[in-house]
Amino acid sequence: MNGWRELIRIENVTKRFGSTVAADHITLSIGEGEFFALLGPSGCGKTTLLRMLAGFETPDSGCIFLDGKDLTAVRPWKRPVNMMFQSYALFPHMNVYDNIAYGLRQEGLPAAEIDRRVRNALELIGLPDLAKRKPGSLSGGQKQRVALARAIVKQPRVLLLDEPLAALDRKLRVEMRLELKRLQSEVGIAFVFVTHDQEEALTMADRAAVMKDGRIMQVGTPEELYTRPANLYVAQFIGEANVIGGRLECIESEWLLRQDTHLFRVSGAEVRRHGLMQGSLAAIVVRPERMFIASASSVAERKDYNGLSARVIEIAYLGSAYNFVVQTDEGRRFFVQVQGAEGSPSYRVGDVVMVGWGVEQGILVPMDEFGNTNPPEGIANKLR
């Protein structure tokens, strides 16, 4: 990203709750004006990290910097950071106007200035007529906008959003993604949002950190996370994946991955990306839409493909695509997605077909001998 300038630096932050580690030596940088996602399953520590940025939790060790200033010990009411809560946390005894004005009144601004900024904020969220309404009489989408306005009106350096769309129904959620994106570029504030929904993170975020068990598994743009996952966990969390685990071999300068008795061709570039060697444990990850399916006799054996004979065991029609589940004689299962209607009528459940993928379509990720995919420290915490 051009002109990227560091705004927040989280340095080696650890936080424990009893025996659970919510944040395990997390190091992370977030840029000015960036739309950043903390992505992971529930209990991965993403909300704790957000709450540490807001000041509601204090790290057991490590520091948080904003603009180079140590923020770690600064109380929540003194931080130039505002948060939008998952429940919105609108004050039920105040009307919309007073909710939005609340933060400005704490700053002791002149009444005229407060009024101007509150009206601007109401304008920005497109609800100028609801100023006198109480939160109890608003719809979910309206509450969400008011909560957003209340946080933005303070013009914080960073806006924190805790599962901002989780409480909305699906249609509104998709709408609000674009709306949030528009608002963010309009106000130019850095947004850090927490989500368990990978689709949400991919569509909205400039960059995302994928978290698991209090650790960051990878930081990157949505495209990087999808096409160049650092480990199996990220590969499987972001999108669907066919996974083949095995040991790498190099035969006559061609890289192969051996699973049981079968050898799969592997991209040399991928081996080098992770610095893997002969004998390393690794897994090939193939996205379903990168797989092909063809009639059993049509594909000749080629050096730039991995092809297997398999039987169709399930077909699902999705409207814009067909999903096939196929199984080889050895019991390997593959999930293949075919866009449009091409080839769809040709196969039925029980047919023997050829499935496979181009070698360059196979993503390689490292593994350890227990099948764990925790990356070495260097990769996990790699910054830009």
Partner 1 sequence: MVSPILLLGPALTWLVIFLVFPLALIFVYSFLQRSPFGQIVFQPSLDNYLRLFNPTVLRVFLNSLRIAFIVTLLALLLGYPTAYFISSQPSRWKNTLLVLVILPFWTSYLIRTYAWIVLLNREGVLSRFLLGLGLIREPISFLYNDTAIVIGLLYGYLPFMVLPLYSSIERLSPELREASFDLGAPPLRTFWHITLPLTLRGIVTGAIFVFVPSLGNFFVPELLGGGQRFMIGNMINNQFLQARNWPYGSAMAFGVMAIVLALLFFQAWVTRRTEQV
Q: Which residues bind partner 1 (CB under 8 A)?
A: 54-56, 75-78, 81-83, 85, 87, 89-93, 102-103, 106-107, 134, 136-137, 150-151, 154
Nearer to partner 1, 78 or 182 (CB): 78
Residues present in the chain in total:
384
For partner 1, the closer of residues 143 and 215 by Cβ is: 143
Q: How do strand 321-327 and strand 242-251 relate by DSSP bridges?
A: unpaired
**Taking CA 38 as the corner, what is the angle to CA 33 and CA 40, rounded to the nearest 5 degrees?**
165
Closest CB 267 distance from partner 1, rounded Å:
48
Q: Report in angstroms how near the CB of residue 94 gets to partner 1 at its nearest.
A: 9
The minimum distance between CB 26 and partner 1, in angstroms, equals 21
Rounded-to-integer distance, Cα 84 and Cα 162, Å: 6
Q: Which residues pair with 354 in a beta bridge?
A: 294, 309
* C-alpha 54: how far from chain center: 21
CB of 102 to partner 1, least distance (A): 5
Whole-number minimum distance, CB 349 to partner 1, in Å? 51
Q: Which is nearer to partner 1, 34 or 57 (CB)?
A: 57
Q: Return the number of the residue (93 or 272) whose C-beta is nearest partner 1.
A: 93
Instruction: Tell me whether residue 155 or residue 280 sits nearer to partner 1 (CB atom).
Output: 155
Residue bearing tokens 């040399």: 268
Nearer to partner 1, 56 or 317 (CB): 56
Q: Which residue has the tokens 């106000």?
A: 187
Nearest to 82 by CA among 111, 53, 109: 53
**Contacts of 90-93 spanning 24+ positions with Cβ under 8 A:** 90/135, 90/143, 90/146, 90/147, 90/150, 91/135, 92/134, 92/135, 92/136, 93/134
Residue 20 C-beta: closest distance to partner 1, Å? 15
**The CA-based dihedral angle spanning residues 50, 7, 187, 101, taken in that order and rounded to the nearest 10 degrees:** 60
